[in-house]
Structure 1
Amino acid sequence: MRFSQTLVILSGIASAFAIPTAPSFAVAQRDLPSVQSNQLRRALLRSELLKKAKILEGFAYATPERNRLIGTPGHNATVNWIKDTIEQFPDYYTYYLEPFDLSLGVSANLTNNNVSMEVFAVGLSPAGSVSGPLVVIPNLGCETADFSTVTPGSIILVGRGNCQSAVKNALGSTAGAIGMLVYNNVEGNLDGYSLQRITTPEGSYVPAGGISKADGEALVARIQAGETIVADLSTEMKVSTTYNVIAETIGGDHENVIHMSGHSDSVAAGPGINDNGSGTISLLEVAIQLTNFSVTNAVRFSWWSREEEGLLGATYYVSQQPQSELDKIRLMLDFDMMASPNYAYQIYDGDGSAFGESGPPGSGEAEHEFERYFAEEAGLNFTSIEFDGRSDYGPFLEAGVATGGIACGAEGIKTVEEAAMFGGQAGIAYDICYHSACDNYENLNVGAWIQMTKAIAHMTATFARSFDLLPARSEAAKAKRMAMAKKMMSDKAIGALWGV
């Protein structure tokens, strides 16, 4: 099949599902066997996963950018491909593309005391040209007090981390700064980085540029040694429309929804075939094979855009839903990086037993069912990871929705204990190609990938049949969910939410 490189937008479907009542599907639903975990899992093939990985890599490598960053032909082709695939099942799924507009960095220039330095425009900040002395912001710039030394007309120099860069930028602007340089907290540049919030109550935004950790630390050292550094920063931005893809089974109870999701975009550095082509493909393959079965509860699949800039696609989706619609989501599960080469089978700590932060009621039960599946059904080891809201489930946590998920690991370092449990090499990252050009087809661990995809299929089938494993839905349970969400969205948790 040939896939169009031009994004096709469906007219008349923007913010709500149009659930057909055609009798043809009612008959088909009765004729289909009820979904069973083991049968759905058996339908999944490594060859299909790998074939789809080649397609995604092809979308990236067919463009000068060689990536699937939002706003590029590579990502547009990805969205079209997902849409075209779901469109093949008009009697099983209804779907829509959810558009939203955001500003992207096009180019930037930076000199410090007339010496050029590599810089990238930070998305969501305004374009402009500013010049002024650099002021070092202590403590990562997440509190108003950190900006006490800012003078009007200066440019703040602040490290990435602990809170969204939007907060740093707005607090600096309120204190009188006219621009911001943010430097990375890990190796690598900040190409494709964003402020991570469209707006923030802390104030308005000023032009911002992103620089490397090494360059930022070198500037900090010079300023702390007493040198005055005048920065000249200019940035160019463009407004780009990007799209979430939302599909839902026509059959099943739409008052009780299991919501399965992952993000479809990559970073600027590479094609993103593990991050998150693997999750994109796992969800798509499960959605394809699910069409052979009937469901009791509706199953929703979402492929989010612009996760890499701060979970913005999922955040936009949640912002557009009334609470009454979010309350229909009994459980939201997110899948990001399913095929890391030096993998560990990681389950989010929904009950807080490992890391102390639990999710809304139902999150712990989701964790327990993942654990039971890995131990009893698949016979595999597993470990827990912090429920920190770092991927697209974060905005759902904030809305009080029960959430969970699994991952194979990103830039974190594999421990000796994990190497004993899963094989691989201790002392190096789960994915040494994380956010790099080498995150391509060759980067995938297909053995881990098929196991993670089967785990996704198990959870899909289990909750498409019944939500008996979850707490009963009631006003008291809803109040508890919202209280737990409020607790998790403390200042510390918000910093984790955005993957800062």
Structure 2
Amino acid sequence: MAHLEVFQAVAHANDGNRASGTPGYRGSVDYVLGRLRAAGYAPRVQNFSFPFFRELSPATVSAGGRPLPAEDVAVMSYSGSGTVSAPVQAVGTTGEPGASTSGCEAEDFADFQAGNVALLQRGTCAFGVKAANAQAAGASAVLIFNTGGPGEEGVVAGTLGGPGAVNIPVVGLSYAAGRALLAEGEVTVTVQVISEQRETSNVLVETGTGNPERTVMVGAHLDSVPEGAGINDNGSGSAAILAIAESLAGTETENRLRFAWWGAEEFGLLGSQHYVDDLKANAPATLAAIALYLNFDMIGSPNYGRFVYDGDGSAFGPEVSAEAPEGSGVIEAAFHAHFGSVGLASGETEFSGRSDYGPFIAEGVPAGGLFTGAEGLKTAEQAALFGGRAGVGYDFCYHAQCDDIANIDVQGLGEMTDAAAAVIRRFATSTGDVEAVGRQLRTVMAPAVPATVDQGHGPSNAAQEKSER
């Protein structure tokens, strides 16, 4: 909690957030570095560039002098900025429901009047392709509305892929809003964003003892979303592994421990992906020496559940979960065993790859971790097992300004940090043969409670990018 108090103070002093590429993130990095050095470690900083995007004010679209409802309008990530008033012109669509090729080919704009606002329908090709074709045809702004198919009637919140793809305003619309604009003359589109390449960093540190050929990696993303301080997401995981690293300073272990605080997770797992890609290209033996990876992303949710990544695939099927490298089930069992040993119920969350363990499992590294829930609703069964309120979000401040120090459940954070510490110590002592360890753990662990939760990340632009990866 002392670490979280500092993260909150850093955000308060820096525009209310700790997002990668901002002074708030640099302040968070400096704090982690200072604590690690004070504990006797020699941390290193791994710098990298990434595509930064921030909406400075909500995008608006007006027609006939009336603004469209806010829930029908969403800026596309990496849109350009500006205010445009011009006639709206549909391109390659009559508004019929279904995925459309609208705007996917330059030829679609053969009759387009330069200076108009292009109205396109979602489908067939990437948003960035549609927007780039419209810009090349002289469009002053681009509006892309949803397909109108089942489950695709709400607002489109997508990405153009990166800064510089286009420099004109690009906005997503609901299906109904797009259809309504087919009959309009002039529209006014206003977008105010920052879209550019920025520098950020990962922080890495490892113990001075232990077999480097059996390295146990422990990670948490240090950045917040631009909308808030991110004290649960993910100050909680960052503070937990910092406290654990401090407690292990000077401890001799059989296996090497390496801790990582990732940057730019909220922009698409970019820090952990950069780290894995760098090892793959420049130090493949170091990558091969990682025995397992443990991830801690959101472990202090105010209406929390004690959820463990479903590494053995028993709770979620392949339509939800990523393929788990062999040994991931052993890690899951270790967490359940700890909770059972202290008389606490535990459930499971999908092994989706949608946090920083994703790049590791893509390279075959066994992984696991903990999660206390995001925007999903707690069920009555889960409330009976874990306490809290049924029918309410695990974290009702997820990706919001109110994710501050008051958004942490101290008891839940303590329970999850204790579990993290116990499992880190277990694997620091021995990773063993995965099959032998799995058999041993299954004989001592309490039965896992059949309470599950989707490990989703909610409907922000960054989350949309994660889900599309």
Task: Using structure 1 for the length normalisation, give the TM-score.
Answer: 0.70
Q: Partner residue of 1:348? A: 309
Q: 1:409 to 1:105 in 2, by over 3 A?
A: closer
Letter in 2 for 1:97: Q
Are 2:409 and 1:441 aligned? no
Are 2:22 and 1:61 aligned? no
Q: 1:177 and 1:147 mapped to 2: Cα distance?
A: 19
Aligned equivalent of 1:98, options 43, 47, 50:
47
Q: 1:290 to 1:149 in 2, by over 3 A?
A: same
State whether residues 102 and 121 of structure 2, in contact with CA within 8 Å, keep that contact through their aligned partners in structure 1.
no
Q: 1:383 to 1:416 in 2, by over 3 A?
A: same
Q: How does 1:8-407 map to 2 (within 5 A)?
A: 50-63=1-14, 65-90=15-40, 92-105=41-54, 111-113=61-63, 123-124=77-78, 133=89, 146-150=99-103, 151-152=108-109, 154=118, 156=120, 158=122, 168-173=126-131, 195=159, 205-207=165-167, 216=174, 218-223=176-181, 227=184, 232=189, 236-322=194-280, 323-357=284-318, 358-375=323-340, 377-407=341-371
Q: 1:96 to 1:253 in 2, by over 3 A?
A: farther
Q: 1:428 to 1:107 in 2, by over 3 A?
A: closer
Are 2:418 and 1:458 aligned? no
Letter in 2 for 1:250: G
State whether residues 390 and 496 of structure 1, in contact with CA within 8 Å, keep that contact through their aligned partners in structure 2.
no
Distance apart, 1:106 and its partner CA: 6.5
State whether residues 340 and 445 of structure 1, in contact with CA within 8 Å, keep that contact through their aligned partners in structure 2.
yes
Distance apart, 1:72 and its partner CA: 2.1
Q: 2:257 and 2:175 mapped to 1: Cα distance?
A: 48
Q: Map Cα deviations across residues 62-114 of structure 1 (whole Å, 9 max, x no partner).
A: 13x21112222211100111111112234x44433333243434657654447
Distance apart, 1:372 and its partner CA: 1.3
Q: 2:295 and 2:287 mapped to 1: Cα distance?
A: 16
Q: 2:231 and 2:388 mapped to 1: Cα distance?
A: 20
Q: 1:61 and 1:326 mapped to 2: Cα distance?
A: 38
State whether residues 158 and 465 of structure 2, in contact with CA within 8 Å, keep that contact through their aligned partners in structure 1.
no
Residue segments in structure 2 that go unaligned for 5+ positions in a row: 113-117, 437-462
Q: 2:385 and 2:133 mapped to 1: Cα distance?
A: 51
Q: 1:102 and 1:460 mapped to 2: Cα distance?
A: 33
Letter in 2 for 1:366: I
Residue segments in structure 1 that go unaligned for 5+ positions in a row: 1-49, 473-494
Q: Map Cα deviations across residues 325-356 of structure 1 (whole Å, 9 max, x no partner).
A: 32221111111111111110011111111112
Q: 1:287 and 1:125 mapped to 2: Cα distance?
A: 40
Are 2:385 and 1:417 aligned? no
**How many residues are aligned here?**
405
3-state SS of paired residue (1:498): helix
Q: 1:283 and 1:242 mapped to 2: Cα distance?
A: 20
Tell me how large the CA RMSD over aligned residues is.
3.8
State whether residues 339 and 446 of structure 1, in contact with CA within 8 Å, keep that contact through their aligned partners in structure 2.
yes
3-state SS of paired residue (2:45): strand
State whether residues 105 and 120 of structure 1, in contact with CA within 8 Å, keep that contact through their aligned partners in structure 2.
no
Q: 1:363 to 1:124 in 2, by over 3 A?
A: farther
Distance apart, 1:499 and its partner CA: 3.3
Range that drifts further, 274-283 or 383-392: 383-392
User: Identity over aligned residues, as a percent?
Assistant: 33
